């Protein structure tokens, strides 16, 4: 639809036929891209499928973020001599660039909320896995009182206590009216 900024938006239809011709492009040991060309009426379409052999000991999937709210062009990331390929595996906010779904990097939760959310990913055994993840945590003050922690590095603040770590990055945290903030360093409140 033109209203969404697209001049041509076809309806769903099969793009790959038995006669589709694929060309393989090896990118690195254990990584290849297969490409095919198709046409939707007058519009040409290139289809690319990235294949990654996770059993290859030279391959390691990693998250491409220096900070969730810091945007980087892929061409800048590609300057890393070990960088081979990238794919967008989750939904992102156009406003902040941050993921809108749970995000785990190297076994550490980076984005979580108390609401159970479905996730899919690569396990430590290099096999695809799916499940649900959610946050269950509390913060205890020096007075011994504890408060439930509702979210970590989420784009939209829930009512209650949320935490933003260095993984959030340098982007501004979108705060609702009436929200109060405190800065912690080494587990100690240093502002507010």
Residue 3 has pLDDT above 60, yes or no: no
107-144-183 Cα angle (round to 5): 60
Q: How many CB atoms lie within 10 A of CB 87?
A: 9
CB 53 within 8 Å of CB 76 = no
Q: What is the pLDDT of residue 1?
A: 40
- Mapped onto helix, strand or coil, the DSSP state of residue 78 is coil
- Mapped onto helix, strand or coil, the DSSP state of residue 34 is strand
β-bridge pairing 146-152 and 161-163: parallel
Q: Residue range 42-71: average pLDDT?
A: 83
pLDDT tens digits along 104-152: 887 788 999 999 988 888 877 878 888 898 999 998 888 889 999 999 9
Q: What is the pLDDT of residue 8?
A: 62
Show the tokens assigned to 48.
Answer: 């690319």
Q: What is the pLDDT of residue 2?
A: 45
Residue 158 has pLDDT above 50, yes or no: yes
Q: Is 133 exposed, middle or buried (0-12, 13-18, 19+ CB in 10 A)?
A: middle
Express as a percent the part of the chain with pLDDT over 70. Answer: 92
Rounded Cα distance, 94 and 129, in Å: 27
Most confident of the following: 23-27, 58-62, 66-70: 23-27
pLDDT tens digits along 12-31: 677 787 888 999 999 999 99
Residue 11 has pLDDT above 80, yes or no: no
């Amino acid at each position: 639809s033109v209203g969404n900024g697209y001049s041509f938006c076809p309806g769903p239809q099969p793009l790959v036929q038995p006669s589709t011709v694929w060309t393989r492009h090896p990118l690195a040991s254990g990584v290849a891209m297969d490409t095919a060309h198709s046409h939707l009426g007058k519009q040409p379409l290139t289809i690319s499928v990235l294949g990654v052999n996770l059993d290859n000991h030279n391959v390691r999937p990693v998250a491409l973020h220096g900070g969730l709210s810091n945007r980087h062009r892929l061409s800048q990331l590609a300057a890393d001599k070990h960088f081979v390929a990238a794919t967008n595996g989750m939904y992102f906010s156009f406003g902040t660039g941050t993921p809108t779904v749970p995000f785990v990097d190297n076994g550490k939760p980076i984005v979580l909320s108390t609401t159970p959310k479905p996730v899919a990913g690569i396990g430590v055994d290099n096999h695809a896995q799916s499940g649900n993840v959610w946050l269950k945590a509390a913060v205890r003050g020096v007075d011994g009182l504890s408060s439930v922690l509702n979210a970590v590095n989420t784009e939209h603040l829930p009512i209650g206590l949320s935490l933003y770590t260095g993984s959030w990055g340098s982007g501004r945290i979108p705060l609702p009216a009436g929200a109060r903030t405190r800065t912690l360093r080494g587990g100690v409140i240093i502002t507010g």
